[in-house]
Chain A
């Protein structure tokens, strides 16, 4: 067992963890933040994407102890006071969600992209989400939703 300190969605935690668990196990099994999904478990599909110290990571490839001292944002942390984040709102309105399994990871990748680059082109959006696989949508509604989210973020000043 190892004691780690980290911040998840703005809340500070001190946790005793087994050394062999991954960040996704910590999030889903210890903290019960099951919005983050496990897809392939080997860093190829992006379903488990979370933001760690401002950078999008596959939480299946990060060991939990490596997250010691870090600041993690998951899909559950986007909503503020019951209000959806503009990216979430745009995904719903544009029909960028079909089966929904890739959606939490996809939204976190869009968030990481827009945090770094607030006005990406469509090609840059495609590049930004290219680590997240989606079998249903053909991605175009996701790119549309990202463009809509950019507009919402500008209007709302989030």
Chain B
């Protein structure tokens, strides 16, 4: 018999290394020949989109197009370290370092513009689209390109550093504030359980994720879909069989991950509630997007067939056994 059920899962998840551990990101911003802006940071792009998002943060701060940024990463012989691409931390931590660096860089450029334009102060100077000009007398203006020529032998360069604020937990009581900030999410799914075969099918899903600010909504959706699919595999298929330290099912024909046919269209909802310590309010979501999905699926199975599953993945044979034990 086929039985339908619905379930929800909710979670919150801390960004960064946490627990008082030193968590430092650095970035260097430099005026390049031709007036382009170089951003150098150790942050590693693994496909999640950090290059795009971190370039956008730099572009927003300097009021330029991201095409005018040369974003160089992943080579610590050329740039300062920005910690690991882990702990959902690059948007928040390195984003903050880049924003700080770009704000300092902006001050340096304004000072340089004041000198080159022979002005009394930086008051009334506006920076946009690669130019700096005096608001009430726009004839007084200088471009990044012109500044780059003037400072060719001694390029304008600044470093920005961000150190995350976290507090070590009390090792006796486990109390404290080990992370900051947190992201929040909620997922609801509808499943259909075939009590004859033990197969679980996801029929519908809705997933809301707090991002603080979605710097790039498409990339956020991509992370949400990806997290959903990973958690779907975790809940229903993926079972690593280890025997005396050896993985027995070390091939895709034996270790199943979701295909496009197992995945469904998820109704993704991005919640924007800007975090005031974050760059433009943006928090990281790389890991949090997998967390509430499996609980939601297990709750939906409970709703459908009235059994609590305490071991994952819920393979057909495992589910049939649990149903038989109950009967």
A residues at B contact (CB < 8 Å): 40, 42, 44-45, 94-95, 97-100, 122, 125-127, 129-143
Contacts and interface: CB of A to CB of B under 8 A. Distances in A.
Interface in B189-240: 218-219, 221-222, 224-230
Q: Do most interface residues of chain B lie in helix, strand or loop, or is the interface mixed?
A: loop
Contacts of A139: 225, 229, 258-260, 263
B253 A143 contact: no
Contact of A98 (B48, B224, B260): B48
Contacts of B219: 95
Contacts of B252: 40, 42, 44-45, 133
A132 B229 CA distance: 14
Q: Do most interface residues of chain A lie in helix, strand or loop, or is the interface mixed?
A: loop
Nearest to A123: B261
B253 A42 contact: yes
B contact residues, range: 20 to 34
Contacts of A126: 260-261, 263
A145 to B, nearest CB: 11
Contacts, number: 80
B325 interface: no
Interface of B: 46-49, 218-219, 221-222, 224-230, 251-253, 257-261, 263, 265-266
Contacts of B228: 138
A53 to B, nearest CB: 25
Given A44-B251, A99-B46, A129 B221 contact: no
Contacts of A138: 222, 224-230, 258, 263, 266
